[in-house]
Amino acid sequence: MQTAHSPIWPGVLGRFTWHDLPFVRAWENPTASEMIGAAAASLVIIGFVVTVTLLTRHRAWGRLLEWVTSLDHKKIGIMYVVIALVMLSRALVEAVLMRMQQAAAVGDPGFLSSDHFSQLFSTHGSIMIFFMAMPFLTGVINYVMPLQIGARDMAFPWANSVALSLTGGGAILMMVSLVIGKFSTGGWSGYPPYTGLAFSPDVGPDYWIWAVTLGSIGSTLSGINIACTIFKFRAPGMTYMRMPLFCWTSLCTSILMIFAMPPLTVATALLALDRYLGFHFFTNDLGGNMMNYANLFWLFGHPEVYILILPAFGIYSEVVSTFSSKELYGYVSLVLATMAIAVLSFTVWLHHFFTMGQSANINAVFGIATMTIGVPTGVKIYDWIWTMFRGEVRFTVPMLYSLAFMITFVIGGFTGIILAIPPLDYVFHNTLFLVAHFHNMLIPGLLYGLLAGYTYWFPKAFGFRLNERWGRIAFGCWVAGFYLAFMPLYVLGASGMARRTHEIFQPDFRPWLYVAGFGALVLLAALAALIVQLVVSIRERDANRVFAGDPWDGRGLEWSTSAPPPEYNFAVIPHVDGRDPFYDGKRKDGYYQRHVAYGAIEMPRNSISGVVIGLGATAASFGLVWHMWWLAGLSMQLVLSALIARSFVRGSHRTISAAEVTATEHRWHAALDADRPTPRACELSQRNTGLAEIPA
Amino acid sequence: MTQPSLRHAGINLGGTQEDPNADAESGIFGFWMFLMSDAVIFALLFAIYGTAVAATAGGPTPRSEFKLDSALIETLLLLTSSLTVGMGVLAMKYDATRRPVFAWMGVTLALGIAFLFMEWHDFSTMFSHGAYPTRSAFLSSFFALVPLHGLHVLAGCIWMLVMGAQVLAYGFDTRVKINILRLSLFWHFLDVIWIAILTVVYLQGHVS
């Protein structure tokens, strides 16, 4: 007999049943939990329909295609950041739901089923790491780094497009899991044997496996691309020790990506072999050993922490130096500290499972290694403080984020030292103390940094400044919200409340959970303020244009172009003779030198094949999740064909004619000549048109 | 693009080395980095194999399954193919006519396919003893490591066919040359991995 639980058409639709639709589940069992699931699915569908309608009404499909097929590092960077912000919105809403559930669930089942709650903490973590943080930092590096080293594009523009579409495909898969089927309940780290076939036979872990795999392959490609660009495409005179610090942190991050993403790929691939072909890597029987998974996952997972944090350190270095109008203090020590952190990050992975049965001596070694990382990090904090010392500090939004970071991150670092001591970890592990700790590292150490970078470089990318007032409101909410939401979790964790708890039986926890819940709402308000800021800024864009390109009296080469920069970045590749080439250069006469005529420039043409590969891989993953073998097979063939077809393409570059380059450059120089230089005191007013006044 | 001033020592783009080296330098360098991350994948699979080699769960053991004679033939096939692919690249550098390049690459391809047939034969012999990957963690890790190398060889063979078609279509233009160089790097890399497989898997299995 057909029921909602039996496969509809197994040959074509695999294991899909009507029961996999959240609407059907909500119809059959109209609890609050199922209704929320159905509402979330509706939001995805409505969002999709609205996007399609708007694109059609504004006849914008052509422009969308122009963007997604672009190989321009700047457009790719912006698209990464768009993915990150969309995914941030979803994962933040999920966080609020979890906080509300826990606040409501003291001695009460609350409004979410335990299964739904588990899906929420799994998607929240997976999205925040793989589809918010990773695309955000990859996007900012993509946009800024080539401009900073004086290059016209990345080393492999086409691979860049493939990496973007793979990451985007993973994000699509995450969104699809809201509408069809359900997500893993195994957390963002997906530990087997729980996520193995024996305990989780449903589609959830498969969604997790393939979404994460797409993301990790994309990140490996990005890492190779970023590292190769920095090694091989620096402008003449840009020696390693003259690179802006953001380039150094990008380089270290990309090296970490090259070495640390493969362990994740291996972990998910072996878990997939267990689940699909009945292998015995991590099963309980026939010799399987889940410790191998824990080691593989954290061999990725710990360097990943520094993949996330190092770019933010680079952004803070740029921001603090620019807004203090001072050379970065201790440049060499910052470079060495960055490299030291990158190397040490591979020596501490075991502290993620102190309690899983190693000898005390092994725990001691890894505990000491963990604490050692605090040393180079401390060096960095002092360097930033000394950079501000006796500088003319301007408290702009990026600078505010940097200051909030320095204080908050140090608190997080202290709690990290506590957790790095194995005997204490035995007490605190698996409690909310840990949850509070890593949010205390990642929110200031990643989110504040990327938001600072977003605010700082936004005028460069779009040609107008973001609204300062809404930026400050968003900043205030992000900081207040963080403290309200996570400081109570330290208390709760130290009192013994386990993480990922669906229902709480200790009435003493209630006030702390209320405070944390309120903090989550403040964080949601911060996101809303960020959206309002964007809308307001776009409306007022004409009053805040900075076409001349240097709104903050910047230091690196990225500020020496118009805003937004021309497609080719630099009409003439600059020669670099110092650490702050643009800051020092514009203080000499005739830096903005106008040439009579410029040469023609070759840039890569758009290519559809990257998108085809990304969407093909996504469709193949979807087919694998649902056991639609025909779809998986056909899509993989499509990916392979697109790869081979691309290798046959010749003439993949187009030439921007000398006349066009000359016209573009002359238009910019005309604006420079017409602009009134802005003194720093007026940089937040509409007088700032992007030409910095040089104080005598 | 900026023009990197260094020339890559390993690039045999032309006898006089006057071809545009810029694309080649970053292109080959990036491929080295890809090989590095691929090497990490193999290193981890070797580590997993090392932890699982004793976990036979009462099933087939390394000693009962591994045949040194076929492993020796496979080694000879692959090592010879590394020589021939190197000769093919040298022919491309100094001769740049199709015939010698096709001849060396054809031999390489034939050796690669022969290797794959040998390997498939090994696997089917193991299957006939009931040595399936689903039998134990030892066999799982064996069948993740060794066939992954085989899949790489298969990918190399397909890549070689594609490059043959490109030579027919475009002759030896810069992109074809860079990609043949990458292919030869890939092929040598697979040789290195195989030597590790021979040592860690087959020889160790035999002496244990």
Best mutation site among A220, A286, A297, A639 for testing chain B: the one with the most B CBs within 10 Å? A286
Question: CA A681, CA B113: separation in Å to the nearest integer?
Answer: 72
Dihedral Cα A355, A358, A364, A370, nearest 10 deg:
-60
Is A286 contained in some domain?
A: yes
Q: Which residues of A270-309 are buried (b: 16+ CB within 10 A; e: fewer)?
A: bbbbbbeeebbbbbeebbbbbebbbbbbbbbbbbbbbbbb
Shortest alpha-carbon distance between residue B119 and chain A (Å): 20
Is A562 contained in some domain?
A: no
Give the C-alpha distances (Å, rounded to integers) separating A263 from A298, A391, A617, B48, B137: 8, 44, 20, 11, 19
**Across the interface, which of A155, A281, A285 has its CB nearest the CB of B26?**
A155
Local confidence band at B12 (pLDDT 50, 70, 90 cut-offs): low
Residues A19, A122, single domain; the answer is no
Tokens of A133: 């943080």
Q: Do A261 and B37 touch (CB under 8 A)?
A: yes
Q: Do A280 and B137 touch (CB under 8 A)?
A: yes
Whether A287 and chain B come into contact, CB under 8 Å, resolves to yes
Q: Do A287 and B55 touch (CB under 8 A)?
A: yes
Q: DSSP label at A155?
A: S
Q: Do B25 and A602 touch (CB under 8 A)?
A: no
Residues A39, A87, single domain; the answer is no
DSSP-derived secondary structure for A324-336: TTSPPTTHHHHHH
Q: Which helix (H) or strand (E) holds A317?
A: helix A290-323
3-class DSSP assignment, residue A262: helix
Which chain A residues are Cβ-neighbours of B179 within 8 angstroms?
647
B96: β partners: none
Whether B135 and chain A come into contact, CB under 8 Å, resolves to yes
Shortest alpha-carbon distance between residue B143 and chain A (Å): 9
Q: Do A224 and B33 touch (CB under 8 A)?
A: yes
Task: Identify the sign of the CA torsion A375, A378, A379, A380.
Answer: positive
- What are the domain boundaries of chain B? 21-207
Best mutation site among A160, A224, A296 for testing chain B: the one with the most B CBs within 10 Å? A224
Which chain A residues are Cβ-neighbours of B33 within 8 angstroms?
224, 227-228, 258
Count of pairs with CB atoms under 8 A, one residue in A, one in B: 123
Shortest alpha-carbon distance between residue B70 and chain A (Å): 25
Closest alpha carbon within chain B to A275: B134
pLDDT at B6 over 50: no
The structural domain count of chain A equals 2
Q: What are the backbone dihedrals phi and psi of residue A354, each rounded to the nearest 5 degrees, phi first?
A: -55, -30
Q: Do B57 and A152 touch (CB under 8 A)?
A: no
pLDDT at B17 over 60: no
Shortest alpha-carbon distance between residue A223 and chain B (Å): 9
pLDDT of residue B18: 41
Is A552 contained in some domain?
A: no
3-class DSSP assignment, residue A602: strand
pLDDT at B16 over 70: no
Which chain A residues are Cβ-neighbours of B136 within 8 angstroms?
280, 286-287
Question: CA B96, CA B15: separation in Å to the nearest integer?
Answer: 9
Whether B4 and chain A come into contact, CB under 8 Å, resolves to yes
Residues A196, A343, single domain; the answer is yes
Tell me the average confidence (pLDDT) per consecutive run of 10 residues in chain A, 696 residues long: 78 93 94 96 96 96 96 98 98 97 95 96 97 98 97 95 98 97 96 96 97 97 97 95 98 97 97 97 95 97 96 98 96 97 96 94 96 95 97 96 97 95 95 97 97 98 97 98 98 96 95 98 98 98 95 95 95 93 88 85 95 98 98 98 95 92 95 93 93 88
The mean pLDDT of B163-175, rounded to a whole number, is: 92
Q: Do B40 and A224 touch (CB under 8 A)?
A: no
**Across the interface, which of B30, B44, B165 has its CB nearest the CB of A262?**
B44
Whether A346 and chain B come into contact, CB under 8 Å, resolves to no
| Domain edge (last residue) among A510, A545, A580 | A545
- What is the radius of gyration, based on Cα positions, of chain B? 19
Q: Do B44 and A296 touch (CB under 8 A)?
A: yes
Which chain B residues are Cβ-neighbours of A153 within 8 angstroms?
1
Name the nearest CA neighbour of A264 among A170, A336, A337.
A170
pLDDT of residue B21: 59
Question: CA A418, CA A436: separation in Å to the nearest integer?
Answer: 13
Name the nearest CA neighbour of A151 among B6, B23, B2.
B2
ipTM more than 0.85?
yes
Q: DSSP label at A130?
A: I
Residues A162, A106, single domain; the answer is yes
Shortest alpha-carbon distance between residue B142 and chain A (Å): 11
Q: Do A292 and B37 touch (CB under 8 A)?
A: no
Q: Do B169 and A648 touch (CB under 8 A)?
A: yes
In a 13 Å sphere around the CA of A681, the CA atoms on its Cβ side amount to: 1
Q: Do A287 and B52 touch (CB under 8 A)?
A: yes
Residues A441, A299, single domain; the answer is yes
Whether A273 and chain B come into contact, CB under 8 Å, resolves to yes
Residues A129, A236, single domain; the answer is yes
Give the B window 80-119 contacts with A, CB below 8 Å. Answer: none
Best mutation site among B38, B140, B186 for testing chain A: the one with the most A CBs within 10 Å? B140
Residues A142, A24, single domain; the answer is no
Amino acid at A212: V
Residues A218, A233, single domain; the answer is yes
Shortest alpha-carbon distance between residue B83 and chain A (Å): 26
Is A327 contained in some domain?
A: yes
Residue B117: how many other CB atoms lie within 10 Å: 12
Q: Do B33 and A648 touch (CB under 8 A)?
A: no
Whether A224 and chain B come into contact, CB under 8 Å, resolves to yes
Whether A280 and chain B come into contact, CB under 8 Å, resolves to yes
Best mutation site among B7, B32, B33 for testing chain A: the one with the most A CBs within 10 Å? B33
The mean pLDDT of B136-161, rounded to a whole number, is: 97
Which chain B residues are Cβ-neighbours of A265 within 8 angstroms?
41
Local confidence band at B13 (pLDDT 50, 70, 90 cut-offs): low
Residues A53, A94, single domain; the answer is no
Whether B174 and chain A come into contact, CB under 8 Å, resolves to no
Dihedral Cα A119, A123, A124, A130, nearest 10 deg:
160
In a 13 Å sphere around the CA of A406, the CA atoms on its Cβ side amount to: 21
Dihedral Cα A347, A266, A311, A73, nearest 10 deg:
150
Whether A18 and chain B come into contact, CB under 8 Å, resolves to no
pLDDT of residue B95: 75
The residues, ordered by sequence, that sit 6+ positions from B107 with a Cβ below 8 Å of its Cβ are B81, B84
Whether B147 and chain A come into contact, CB under 8 Å, resolves to no
Is A646 contained in some domain?
A: no
Residues A55, A74, single domain; the answer is no
Shortest alpha-carbon distance between residue A76 and chain B (Å): 18
In contact, A543 and A526? CB cutoff 8 Å: no
Pick the CATH number of B21-207 from 3.40.50.2300, 1.20.120.80, 3.30.420.40, 3.20.20.20: 1.20.120.80
| Domain edge (last residue) among A518, A545, A572 | A545
Residues A35, A153, single domain; the answer is no
Residue B116: how many other CB atoms lie within 10 Å: 17
Shortest alpha-carbon distance between residue A81 and chain B (Å): 25
Q: Which helix (H) or strand (E) holds B33?
A: helix B21-52
CATH number at residue A65: 1.20.210.10
Closest alpha carbon within chain A to B33: A224
Q: What is the value of pTM for the model shown?
A: 0.96
Residues A136, A24, single domain; the answer is no
Q: Which domain holds residue A496?
A: 60-545
Q: DSSP label at A681?
A: G
Question: CA B206, CA B208: separation in Å to the nearest integer?
Answer: 6
Whether B133 and chain A come into contact, CB under 8 Å, resolves to yes
